[in-house]
Copies of this chain bind each other. A is one copy, B any other.
Amino acid sequence: MRDHTVPVDAPGRSRGLGVGEFHLDGGFWGGLQAANTAATLRHCLEWMERLGWIANFDRVASGDTGGERPGWQFSDSEIYKLMEALAWEYGRTGATWAEETLTALTERVAAAQDADGYLNTCYGHAGQADRYSDLSSGHELYCTGHLLQAAVARLRTVGEDKLVEIARQAADEVCRTFGADGRDGICGHPEIEVGLAELGRALREPRYTEQARRFIERRGRGTLKPVTLLDAAYFQDDLPVREADAWRGHAVRALYLAAGAVDVAVDTGDTDLLNAVERQWGRSVERRTYLTGGMGSRHQDEGFGEDWELPPDRAYCETCAGIASNMVSWRLYLATGAVEYADLMERTFYNVIAASPAEDGKSFFYANPLHQRSAAAEVRPDEVNPRAEGGVRAPWFDVSCCPTNLARTLASWQAYAASVEGEQVSLLQYASGDLRIAIGDGEELALRVTTEYPHEGTIRIEVLEAPERPVTLRLRVPHWADGARLATDTGAQAVGPGWASPQDPLRQGAVIVLRLPVEPRFTWPDERIDAVRGCVAVERGPLVLCAESIDLPDAAVIETLRVDPSIPPRAEREGAVVQATAAAAASTPGALPYGPNPRRFDAAATLELGLIPYHRWAQRGSTAMRVFLPTV
């Protein structure tokens, strides 16, 4: 095993952490990562073996194609995402099981690769449709993109190996087929762009970066054949990437494409393209993003809605879209150093990504709505769930992109926790553990972070080792942290949202304490978000809170709750308590719910309404839930 701490080799302003540079010591993210290690990785493997998705590779290898093929046309990508997760897992921990499993999967995948590098179990073999015969829906290049990302995880942890060689051959085949002299096509689902750009960067192979650039420039020219009920915007094929002002269409598609565009912009010095993605981020965050950081307002196309179309009940907020949003924000942060990108990542980490897995790591939310009207039926633990609906975590889905996407994200969470800009280290996400960060050639900065964040606001940072050269530290102060304080050996001071920096270079033994105000607070939506007019939400630190009907004396009362915003929320355990009223609402079957006078509930009783962190909802059983609470 090579050094775990091979840094991300990005030519932007910053680099992120190698997954081995930060050892988590329990806490919020340590706990989630432990469940991923203990359960989710094996869970994904077992489901994909059971359903025959992995055996699809064996059938191609043995020439036994053309019969019934289990899984959707994009099921290969789930194996690649699991392989990426295993690569990070081994790179981070050195766990033998992860390495052996990855090696075994690599052998099975390798055996299915055609001589010219083409690799897909659904197309191009006896009894199958031709290669690239359905670019709109075939997902071949999408699958390849995930293969390349898995290889990059390997390159960043152990270096060249068989998986990297498979990826190189696959990437070469893509470059030949779709290069300057090849076919003028793009894939209906972006992902090849970010995969090629990452691989090009990791292998210092400009042909891959160039091919990624080519796919990005080709997009938005209406070349994809339409699919029933879905228009060109669904594929982001309606407008060239550099001309669009906001994200639209299928959210995961839009965000994977944007991630690839940032990589290409950075690696080719294309400021115009970078600015375009920054503009799209700005507009989409302002008008098309949920309080949780979730993106995607529509079920029909798993897509963005229009500006201000943010219904809490039918919020889609696909787990994968949260992951993809963080892929974009992370790249924009690395490219620009602007703190707001890391702010949105924190919001999305705690309130979308952390919300998806059950505590045991064996069932998942696909959609993450902010309002569940009625308690959903339980899901059987042995059944594939056809519904990408909220309300109940399911062990596996018919389209099961989220579990493996979570697995790779949780296995590499450390990569996003800090960045290094020359002689500056930026702490972005707070979690207890030990950091040992390479600074320049051979020198290291070692820090110990101790915190109960997000439930408590104190973050203690001790400098265990400092390099010879002067190294500075900057700490992210979240945008909501009004009243934060920074204490060092030389005194304490108030610090505003943005960056807080001890003035002197770090020296061994120094202790820095950042205190973030995590008292619960009311948060009000913009008046233009029609769906939550007259409502308020409660947040606590980076956590969005919610009310669950199972905490109410009468579950039906969740329909008539009214919060009194004149009384500040009070902290309780990891949630909060607000003053509210609830009433028995009249039922009048046959009478339309519209009348000549404003309708108010009668006989409201006051209530101490307990709220819990949103990411924990439906962990205690099926329940109705709401984040936005109407006010009295």
Identify the A interface with B (CB < 8 A): 226, 228-231, 279, 281-283, 285-287, 289, 291, 298-300, 305-309, 311-314, 340, 344, 347, 371, 373-374, 386-388, 398, 480, 482, 521-537, 559-560, 565, 585, 587-601, 630
Q: A291-B594, A524-B597 are in contact. List 8 more A-B contacts (CB 8 A).
A: A226-B386, A286-B593, A308-B559, A314-B314, A340-B590, A526-B599, A527-B601, A528-B585
**Contact partners of A526 in chain B: CB under 8 A:** 593-595, 599
Cβ–Cβ contact A588 & B313, under 8 A: no
**Contact partners of A311 in chain B: CB under 8 A:** 311, 313-314, 531
**Contact partners of A630 in chain B: CB under 8 A:** 527, 530, 533
A289 — nearest CB in chain B belongs to which residue? B592
A226 — nearest CB in chain B belongs to which residue? B386
Q: Which of B286, B565, B588 contacts A588 (CB under 8 A)?
A: B286
**Contact partners of A535 in chain B: CB under 8 A:** 530, 533
Q: Determine chain A's interface SS by DSSP, over half rule.
A: loop
Cβ–Cβ contact B522 & A283, under 8 A: no
Cβ–Cβ contact B309 & A591, under 8 A: no
**How distant is the Cα of A434 from the Cα of B596 in the complex, in angstroms?**
34
**How distant is the Cα of A340 from the Cα of B599 in the complex, in angstroms?**
21
Cβ–Cβ contact B593 & A287, under 8 A: yes
Leading 6 A-B pairs by shortest Cβ distance: A282-B589, A526-B593, A282-B590, A299-B300, A534-B534, A306-B373
**How distant is the Cα of A600 from the Cα of B527 in the complex, in angstroms?**
7
Q: Which of B286, B298, B482 contacts A299 (CB under 8 A)?
A: B298
Cβ–Cβ contact B523 & A591, under 8 A: no
A306 — nearest CB in chain B belongs to which residue? B373
Cβ–Cβ contact A398 & B228, under 8 A: yes
Q: Which of B228, B313, B596 contacts A309 (CB under 8 A)?
A: B313
Supposing A298-B314, A386-B226 touch, asked if A523 and B588 sit within 8 A by C-beta, the answer is no
**Contact partners of A287 in chain B: CB under 8 A:** 593
**Contact partners of A226 in chain B: CB under 8 A:** 386
**How distant is the Cα of A243 from the Cα of B460 in the complex, in angstroms?**
61
**How distant is the Cα of A373 from the Cα of B297 in the complex, in angstroms?**
14
Shortest distance between the CB of A32 and any CB in chain B (Å): 24
Shortest distance between the CB of A590 and any CB in chain B (Å): 4
Shortest distance between the CB of A424 and any CB in chain B (Å): 23
Shortest distance between the CB of A546 and any CB in chain B (Å): 14
**How distant is the Cα of A307 from the Cα of B585 in the complex, in angstroms?**
13
Cβ–Cβ contact A286 & B386, under 8 A: no
**Contact partners of A398 in chain B: CB under 8 A:** 228-229
**How distant is the Cα of A587 from the Cα of B285 in the complex, in angstroms?**
11
Cβ–Cβ contact A309 & B230, under 8 A: no
A597 — nearest CB in chain B belongs to which residue? B524
**Contact partners of A307 in chain B: CB under 8 A:** 373-374
Cβ–Cβ contact A283 & B314, under 8 A: no
**Contact partners of A374 in chain B: CB under 8 A:** 306-307
**Contact partners of A529 in chain B: CB under 8 A:** 593
Cβ–Cβ contact B386 & A229, under 8 A: yes
A291 — nearest CB in chain B belongs to which residue? B594
A593 — nearest CB in chain B belongs to which residue? B526
Could you list 7 A-B pairs, sorted by A, with CB under 8 Å?
A: A230-B386, A289-B592, A306-B373, A308-B559, A525-B599, A527-B600, A530-B630
Most buried by B among A373, A387, A532: A373
**How distant is the Cα of A531 from the Cα of B291 in the complex, in angstroms?**
17
Cβ–Cβ contact A595 & B524, under 8 A: yes
Supposing A314-B314, A530-B313 touch, asked if A386 and B228 sit within 8 A by C-beta, the answer is yes
Supposing A313-B309, A387-B229, A522-B596 touch, asked if A286 and B601 sit within 8 A by C-beta, the answer is no
Most buried by B among A527, A529, A594: A594
Cβ–Cβ contact B386 & A599, under 8 A: no
**Contact partners of A560 in chain B: CB under 8 A:** 527-528
Q: Which of B291, B300, B308 contacts A592 (CB under 8 A)?
A: B291
Shortest distance between the CB of A228 and any CB in chain B (Å): 6
Cβ–Cβ contact B599 & A524, under 8 A: yes
**Contact partners of A230 in chain B: CB under 8 A:** 386
Shortest distance between the CB of A525 and any CB in chain B (Å): 5
Cβ–Cβ contact B388 & A229, under 8 A: yes
**Contact partners of A388 in chain B: CB under 8 A:** 229
**Contact partners of A347 in chain B: CB under 8 A:** 592
**How distant is the Cα of A593 from the Cα of B479 in the complex, in angstroms?**
13
Cβ–Cβ contact B590 & A285, under 8 A: yes
**How distant is the Cα of A109 from the Cα of B307 in the complex, in angstroms?**
48
Supposing A398-B228, A526-B599 touch, asked if A285 and B589 sit within 8 A by C-beta, the answer is yes
Cβ–Cβ contact B373 & A309, under 8 A: yes
**Contact partners of A595 in chain B: CB under 8 A:** 523-524, 526
Cβ–Cβ contact A231 & B521, under 8 A: no
A283 — nearest CB in chain B belongs to which residue? B589
Cβ–Cβ contact A594 & B299, under 8 A: no
Shortest distance between the CB of A629 and any CB in chain B (Å): 11
Supposing A229-B386, A525-B599 touch, asked if A286 and B592 sit within 8 A by C-beta, the answer is yes
A302 — nearest CB in chain B belongs to which residue? B300
**Contact partners of A597 in chain B: CB under 8 A:** 524
**Contact partners of A530 in chain B: CB under 8 A:** 312-313, 371, 531-532, 535, 630
Cβ–Cβ contact A593 & B525, under 8 A: yes
**How distant is the Cα of A504 from the Cα of B37 in the complex, in angstroms?**
85
**How distant is the Cα of A588 from the Cα of B526 in the complex, in angstroms?**
11
Cβ–Cβ contact A285 & B592, under 8 A: yes
**How distant is the Cα of A283 from the Cα of B630 in the complex, in angstroms?**
24
Q: Which of B281, B565, B589, B598 contacts A286 (CB under 8 A)?
A: B589
Cβ–Cβ contact A596 & B299, under 8 A: no
Shortest distance between the CB of A504 and any CB in chain B (Å): 32
